[in-house]
Amino acid sequence: MFQYFEKAKELLSIVEEKEAPVIEQAIELLTQANLTKKAIYIFGASHAGILAEEMYYRAGGMMTINAIFGRELMLDRSPITFTSKMERLEGYGSALAATQPFTAGDVLILHSVSGRNPVIIDMALHAKEKGVKIIALTNLTYSKTVTSRHTSGLRLFETADIVIDNHGEIGDAACTIPDVEQKVGPTSTVVGATILNAIIVEVCQKLKEAGVDYPPIFYSANLDGGDELNQSLFEKYQEAIHYQL
């Protein structure tokens, strides 16, 4: 059997069992945000930002999720090593956060495996000042072994209202190769995407149970009538959507 498949399945089982209580808290928070037409944001730097792309503007995804992207933190930035310098630059996260129309009662999902770099801490602290609730997706074991690079001394999990642990390896890679010290095969993306999609599915179920005729789920724009159906939902949830013209 392929080693990575086994590791991924093992981690997903651990997360499903051990993180169920905090995942339920996240489901409730996002359900209430949708019922009250509050915005949901998501941010991560570099590879952590892949989850922001996963959650944003896609068929079967939730319309009320607004992704935050920092141009200098994207994986198409050249040279790519510049992204590492930017996520360690204190103040950049605050400046990026200041471009967002955060209001009290909004929710911000922040993804960082180590949770130590200034960009993610700046983002969390700025949003909290606006009354935004923070959901952190991180690796607690990893994060607790490192020091913060932010002058506050805080790591992501210490800023959040809800903390979801991805239970990955320290360093993220999970698979071993004989006589090779460095492990291979990072797991944070596949586990994180599974956690977040599981949350969104349950939120939509709860919204339906709460009497919402149709939760804010994107229809595929490639299906006949999809554009029209999406437009009707955009109009219904426009207070929570900040990316549409």
**223 is in which domain, residue-wise?**
3-237
Return d(Cα 206, Cα 20) in angstroms, integer: 16
**Please, which residues have CB within 8 angstroms of residue 164's CB and are 6 or more apart in sequence?**
19, 22, 23, 26, 135, 136, 137, 138, 195
How many CA atoms within 13 Å lie on the side-chain side of 100? 32
243 inside domain: no
In a structure prediction context, what are the per-residue pLDDT tens digits for the chain, which is 245 residues long? 899 999 999 999 999 999 999 999 999 999 999 999 999 999 999 999 999 999 999 999 999 999 999 999 999 999 999 999 999 999 999 999 999 999 999 999 999 999 999 999 999 999 999 999 999 999 999 999 999 999 999 999 999 999 999 999 999 999 999 999 999 999 999 999 999 999 999 999 999 999 999 999 999 989 999 999 999 999 999 999 999 86
- Alpha helices by DSSP H, listed for 103-145, are 118-129, 140-143
- Assign 99 to helix, strand or coil: coil
Tokens representing residue 52 in the block: 């922001």
One-letter amino acid at 200 equals I
Tokens representing residue 65 in the block: 């999720």
- Assign 49 to helix, strand or coil: helix
Confidence at residue 244, expressed as pLDDT on a 0 to 100 scale: 81
Pairing mode, strands 173-177 and 180-186: antiparallel
Tokens representing residue 25 in the block: 């808290």
How many domains would you assign to the chain? 1
DSSP state of 23: H
28 inside domain: yes
56 inside domain: yes
Tokens representing residue 181 in the block: 């010290």
215 inside domain: yes
CATH number at residue 57: 3.40.50.10490
Return d(Cα 77, Cα 83) in angstroms, integer: 7
245 inside domain: no
**Please, which residues have CB within 8 angstroms of residue 143's CB and are 6 or more apart in sequence?**
113, 114, 115, 116, 155, 156, 157
Confidence at residue 115, expressed as pLDDT on a 0 to 100 scale: 98
Contact 28, 197 (CB under 8 A): no
244 inside domain: no
18 inside domain: yes
Q: What is the DSSP string of 53-94?
A: HHTSS-TTSBTTEEE---GGGSTT-SSTHHHHHHHTSTTHHH
182 inside domain: yes
Confidence at residue 56, expressed as pLDDT on a 0 to 100 scale: 97
